Amino acid sequence: MVTKSLWYKDGLRFGCTSCGSCCGGGPGFVWVTQNEIERLAAKFGITPELFEKLFVWTVKEGHRSLKEYPNGDCVLLDEKTKKCKFYEERPIQCKTWPFWDQNLNKKIFWDLMSEHCPGCNRGRLYSLDEIEKQRTAIEL
């Protein structure tokens, strides 16, 4: 049951500008599941085993992340266009941005994050239910 007292109860606007800044520029984790590895590998035209060897590292047992280039860019970020090479197959972590717990717990967190994500507070209005579905889609 969604509580109506949340600070974002009237929804939030978001429209990605494809600036690419959330996909790189510093160290981070892009968690991937086995299903996501298999989908990405199929799109790439290689086996999941090879995809994992080339593009995935194990942070801790049972927790795998996409690799990064030395500059912090995600290994799936196109260097020239600064867009995800496999946008449709991107991991759920990427699909649910910016509606993550850590950004929604307090308005100040959303405001601080928005300073680095120009897609926030513009574009389509996401309803409370849509936001909650995305917020609870993964545990970060």
Interface residues with ligand SF4 (CB under 6 A) are 16-23, 30, 66, 74, 76-77, 84, 90-91, 94, 97, 117-119
If the CB atoms of residues 97 and 100 are measured against ligand SF4, the closer one turns out to be 97
Least separation in angstroms between CB 7 and ligand SF4: 20
Nearest distance from residue 18's CB to ligand SF4, in Å? 5
CB 41 within 8 A of CB 51: yes
The crossing angle, in degrees rounded to 10, of helices 48-55 and 34-44 is 100
In DSSP terms, 13 is beta-bridged to 125
Closest to ligand SF4 by CB, 9 or 43: 43
Q: How far is the CB of 1 from ligand SF4 (least distance, A)?
A: 29
The region, left, alpha or beta by phi > 0 then psi within -120 to 50, assigned to residue 35 is alpha
Q: Compare residues 5 and 25 and give the one whose CB is closer to ligand SF4.
A: 25
